[in-house]
Chain A
Amino acid sequence: MNLVVEIGCEEIPPSDVKISKKFLSTFVPKEIQLNALCFQKIDIYTTTRRIIILIQNITRQNSYNTFTGPVITASFNASFSLSSIGFSFFSNKQLPLEQSFISRAHQSFLSGYLFFYLNPIENTLISIILKSLSKIPFNSSMFWNESKIKFVRPIIWIACLLNNKILPFKFANILSSNFSRGHRLLSSNPRQIKESNYLSFLNENHILIKSEERKSRILSRSKKLSRSVNGKLSRNKKLENILSNLSESPWPILGSFHKKYLKIPHEILSYEIELKQKCLKIVSKSNHLLPFFLIISSLKPQNTKKIIIGYENILQARFQDGLFYFQEDILNNFLITSSDSSLQAIALKISKEFSYHKLNLLTHACILCKADLKTFIIDEFPELQGIIGGIYSKYLKIHYAISNAIYEHYLPKFINDEFPKTKLGIILSLADKLQVLYKFPIPKTNIDPFGVRKSTINFIKILLYYYVPINLKDILEEDILYFFLLRIKHLLAEKYPILLTENFFHTQNNNISNAFLVIQLTLRSNLSSLTAIYKRIKNILQQSILTSPTTLNYTTLIEKKIFIILHKISNEKQYDKKILLLITLKPYIDLFFNTTIILAQNTFIQRTRLSLLMNVYNEINNIIHPHILK
């Protein structure tokens, strides 16, 4: 039996097109297997107007499916009835408790059986379809009728055929049928389809169901058009992905604009072309912007000229706007700023930690760094914060160090973003983030309207990145200090799974600068190699018979060196220094493995070496949480 499911929707946002495909590609096969069905092939396709599930040769694999649950002892209570653990197994797996399962001890585990012989394959498929549709994790969903079922956008039609026969079901009050629709711009009338001709129906109606095919059409034709004007396509993978999910039959067309607009900062032009107009840029071979762009039409047009004129007009108006913003900002807005003395005070404090003495530059940078917030261009493109400040200050011939610092002080903006590079940029960036901490209340819940958490985390990240031996106690107040420590803890737990947490904070509370030192050094040290050593030692120890040596018989210099460092580690009371010592031990261990036969023939030597490894193993275990080493 072959199944065709098509959910016809009002335009699904590109990101949700991607999400639904990713989700259904894993969820549907899993559900089918759980329901003891087998299939030859499953294809999931998503476009901006439809979600398609195609399954070939579905058959019932078994008459039942087995699910293994918790151990028997936990599954039953003293009166031999199901315990809460046993019950939750059935409810989690959605196994019908009363009718269609039996449970029995099977190799000491509780087993649940789901029988299908009473349930026709059609019913199973319907329940899989309904479950799959209701579980797609869209970015945002809405309800649109009395069913109150939420979906990414209103569903208009559902076509569902099992071997050319309608598989009848209702989802969000829409009854499945054998009707589909073609491309939005061609016809909105429902058209009857058959399972056997479904793909050719889509093809005839200009629907490219594979996103790769849509993307490939965009790229190949865009490259060809770019070559026709002696340029090359400026790749923007994010935009290309959006465009390939924006229409069902994309078609690139070449447009152009007047050269005079190239005098506007290219960052602004790029934002207008790519972000606002969803067009692709064309650049010269030396990567300079050319006065051409690529429109991605939703269908191969009958009248290309009209579309080109439309886009060119709107882009020209946008560029005029860009020019207006640029001129107004430069003349009126950018330099009219109020000096923020609190930022300056913080920056001056931090500058001492960096031994930075060009205080006039720092003060000027503090005054100008938020000047771009008052510009028109930032009202229009908030994403240009920092970038435009840097551009404007360069244009106004302000010291290059200040221009760079203005650009850098917003960094890092997102995960894996770059860090500020110049000293002035680092100081300004740290001061800016710290000011947020001072100025706004520390969030007590998940709601963080002023981005206090984000600022704190970025502050920590910059310190970690550069290893700044900053004495935070001088800068942070008591209540902020505690919040700060919590953020470090979370950051470590989420982002850098390196250090143990609780012990670390107990020992480090009094010395935060050392805490940073430890984190920094540990991050920079190669944890994977330390873990490899740990595992290697563990393997050797597991395979060996350990007996305590009566006397230690170190025969090589390297063994003695390791012994000395181990001794230092065990005597060291400060946790950070312990870590440092452990890191210094690493090359010696490597050398020890490379040059020494651990399981030496001489039993005394062998015992001594194994004992030495045992000590190393114990110390690593003491310092770094075993969970992290796993």
Chain B
Amino acid sequence: MLTFQNIILKLQQFWQKQGCILLHASDIEVGAGTLNKHTFLRVLGSEPWKAAYVEPCRRPTDGRYGKNQNRLQHYYQFQVILKPFPQNIQDIYINSLKNIGLTPRLWDLQFLEDNWEHPALGATGLGWEVWCHGMEITQFTYFQQCGSIEINTPVCEITYGLERIAMCIQNVTNIFDIVWASSNLTKITYGEIHKQDEIQWSFHNFKIADINICFHHFDNYKKQATTLLENNLPIPAYDYILKCSHLFNILDARKAISHNDRHFLISEIRHLAQKCAEAYLKSKQQFNFTMEINPYESCS
């Protein structure tokens, strides 16, 4: 049986063989692997980019005080980003599942239409949710827009839900029973590592987080992002936009945002993200894209 950490290792090995560079998670709270700058900013422009990384994600509204068997406010995604992508990318993806033990004939795999979008960051894509026995295990997306900018070079994003895949492979019904690591004598479960976090953060997200402080920080981060953009520094500005996005999610979980304010705040973040994407693209053009690493050369 593959442990949680072995699933990650196997996926990393698989995608490394496909020419992806293995990167690391963002050091700022993000709601999805897409928001990591290795995806959000790198998909802009025409130069090739192939990367894979594990992203810890935070979605405050999804917290369930550790009581739900497959819902968490903090979980892990394995993110693969390919620009451009090979013709047989779906087959490659299915092979990656076979590689971790999900054989299509034995597991009822289904591709269900799910045209993904992230309104706050002006990102949209066409694609599917991949279901295994009725459980969504992957989001498979062809990017169409990012930071409200049309994507001109085909980009494929594959986001594996690691916990759900582990649940399928390890045949456990409760997320906290997933075996994270094991040796001959001992094993450590997902619950032992994360359950307390889930309980405490759920309290924070739903009941304790100070709404005024959050709004105050939101305004400050927004100001900072604006200043950075005015100084033509889109990369640090993007970090502050992510902070705004996360605060918005906490305020949302605290039910502190009215229906109309919601639209307004989302449009504010989207506006900043658009400016940031434009500035980033412009800065790359200024350097004639020479600041980019060529992933084909960097991977043997």
A residues engaging B (CB < 8 A)?
A: 10-11, 13-14, 48, 140, 142-145, 153-154, 156, 184-186, 188, 246-247, 277-279, 295, 297-299, 301-303, 306-307, 309-311, 313-317, 320-321, 324, 328, 332-333, 336, 338, 370, 373-374, 376, 379, 439, 449
Q: In whole angstroms, what is the CA distance A185 to B109 when docked?
A: 7
In the complex, the chain A residue whose C-beta lies closest to that of B91 is A188
In the complex, the chain A residue whose C-beta lies closest to that of B172 is A313
In the complex, the chain A residue whose C-beta lies closest to that of B85 is A144
Complex A-B: 5 CB contacts under 8 Å = A144-B142, A185-B104, A301-B108, A311-B133, A321-B68
In the complex, the chain B residue whose C-beta lies closest to that of A298 is B110
Chain A residues within 8 Å of B206, by CB: 328
Contact partner of B132 (CB less than 8 A), chosen from A156, A246, A310, A316, is A310
Chain B residues within 8 Å of A140, by CB: 115, 126
Q: Are A314 and B70 in contact, CB atoms less than 8 angstroms apart?
A: yes
Within 8 A of A (CB), among B83-108: 84-85, 87-91, 94, 104-108
Chain A residues within 8 Å of B204, by CB: none
Are A145 and B91 CB-contacts (below 8 A) given A14-B113, A298-B109, A324-B68?
no
Chain A residues within 8 Å of B104, by CB: 184-185
Are A311 and B134 CB-contacts (below 8 A) given A13-B113, A317-B68?
yes
Chain A residues within 8 Å of B84, by CB: 145
**Is B259 part of the binding interface, using a Cβ–Cβ cutoff of 8 Å?**
yes
Chain B residues within 8 Å of A309, by CB: 133, 173
Q: Are B112 and A278 in contact, CB atoms less than 8 angstroms apart?
A: yes
Chain A residues within 8 Å of B64, by CB: 320-321, 324
Q: How many A-B residue pairs have CB under 8 A?
A: 109
Q: Are B126 and A333 in contact, CB atoms less than 8 angstroms apart?
A: no
Chain B residues within 8 Å of A48, by CB: 111
**Is B69 part of the binding interface, using a Cβ–Cβ cutoff of 8 Å?**
yes
Chain A residues within 8 Å of B231, by CB: none
Are A145 and B111 CB-contacts (below 8 A) given A11-B128, A156-B87, A373-B259?
no
Chain B residues within 8 Å of A186, by CB: 105
Q: How far is the CB of B64 from chain A (nearest CB, A)?
A: 6
Q: In whole angstroms, what is the CA distance A544 to B168 when docked?
A: 84
Besides the known contacts A11-B113, A439-B260, 14 further A-B residue pairs in the complex with CB atoms under 8 A apart: A10-B90, A11-B111, A13-B113, A185-B108, A188-B94, A247-B110, A279-B134, A306-B107, A307-B134, A310-B108, A313-B173, A314-B70, A320-B67, A320-B69
Q: Are A321 and B71 in contact, CB atoms less than 8 angstroms apart?
A: yes
Are A142 and B142 CB-contacts (below 8 A) given A247-B110, A449-B263?
yes
B residues engaging A (CB < 8 A)?
A: 61, 64, 67-71, 84-85, 87-91, 94, 104-113, 115, 126, 128, 132-135, 142, 144, 154, 167-168, 173, 206, 252, 255, 258-260, 263
Q: How far is the CB of B209 from chain A (nearest CB, A)?
A: 14
Q: Are A317 and B69 in contact, CB atoms less than 8 angstroms apart?
A: yes
Q: Are A143 and B154 in contact, CB atoms less than 8 angstroms apart?
A: yes
Are A310 and B168 CB-contacts (below 8 A) given A295-B134, A333-B255?
yes
Contact partner of A336 (CB less than 8 A), chosen from B154, B255, B263, is B255
Chain B residues within 8 Å of A14, by CB: 113
Q: In whole angstroms, what is the CA distance A449 to B67 when docked?
A: 38
Most A-side CB within 10 Å, residue of B173, B252, B260: B173
Chain B residues within 8 Å of A278, by CB: 112
Q: Are B112 and A184 in contact, CB atoms less than 8 angstroms apart?
A: no
Are A370 and B259 CB-contacts (below 8 A) given A247-B110, A297-B108, A317-B71?
yes
Contact partner of B111 (CB less than 8 A), chosen from A10, A311, A324, is A10
Q: How far is the CB of A329 from chain B (nearest CB, A)?
A: 10
Chain A residues within 8 Å of B134, by CB: 277, 279, 295, 307, 310-311, 314-315
Q: In whole angstroms, what is the CA distance A311 to B107 when docked?
A: 12
Most B-side CB within 10 Å, residue of A338, A376, A439: A376
Q: Are A320 and B68 in contact, CB atoms less than 8 angstroms apart?
A: yes
Q: Are B133 and A307 in contact, CB atoms less than 8 angstroms apart?
A: yes
Q: In whole angstroms, what is the CA distance A48 to B113 when docked?
A: 10
Are A310 and B255 CB-contacts (below 8 A) given A11-B128, A188-B94, A297-B108?
no
Q: How far is the CB of A247 from chain B (nearest CB, A)?
A: 7
Q: How far is the CB of A78 from chain B (nearest CB, A)?
A: 48
Q: In whole angstroms, what is the CA distance A313 to B294 when docked?
A: 44
Q: How far is the CB of B156 from chain A (nearest CB, A)?
A: 8
Contact partner of B126 (CB less than 8 A), chosen from A142, A310, A332, A374, is A142
Q: How far is the CB of A423 from chain B (nearest CB, A)?
A: 26
In the complex, the chain B residue whose C-beta lies closest to that of A145 is B154
Chain B residues within 8 Å of A311, by CB: 133-134
Chain A residues within 8 Å of B115, by CB: 140
Chain B residues within 8 Å of A143, by CB: 154
Q: In whole angstroms, what is the CA distance A188 to B105 when docked?
A: 11
Q: How far is the CB of B223 from chain A (nearest CB, A)?
A: 25
